[in-house]
Amino acid sequence: MNDWKKWAAAALIRAIRTFAEAMIAYIGTGAVVLGDVNWLVALSAGGMGFVIAILLALSGLPEVEKTERRTEQVRFVAGTYNLPPSGGFFD
């Protein structure tokens, strides 16, 4: 159940960001002044972006990977590049 909550939170954050980006793109390209904005179309574009982001999230979100898989990737990278014990290149 905990993994589902993490997925839902990450998917919602992505969808809200996509909503905002779609609205900004429409407003930025379609209007010179604030009064020129067709707000219904801007909200429609944002809503479509929101729905698409949720549908794409169904295929998986990298920020909600299983911890075991992340550990394997870190071990692989640490073994390949000989990372310092601090875990980063820039420490």
Contact assessment for residue 23 and residue 45, using Cβ atoms and an 8 Å cutoff: yes
pTM: 0.63
Q: CA–CA separation, 44 vs 46, rounded Å?
A: 5
Residues 6+ apart with CB under 8 A from 47: 19
Contact assessment for residue 32 and residue 38, using Cβ atoms and an 8 Å cutoff: no
Taking 90 as the threshold, does the pLDDT of residue 89 lie above it?
Answer: no
| Mean of pLDDT values over 17-37 | 86
Q: Give the DSSP letter string of 31-56.
A: -SSGGG--HHHHHHHHHHHHHHHHHH
| Mean of pLDDT values over 56-71 | 68
Contact assessment for residue 77 and residue 83, using Cβ atoms and an 8 Å cutoff: yes
Q: Could you report the per-residue pLDDT of 42-55, keeping only the tens digit for each?
A: 999 999 999 999 99
Give the pLDDT confidence score for residue 66 in this predicted structure: 59
Taking 80 as the threshold, does the pLDDT of residue 25 lie above it?
Answer: yes
Give the pLDDT confidence score for residue 68 in this predicted structure: 45
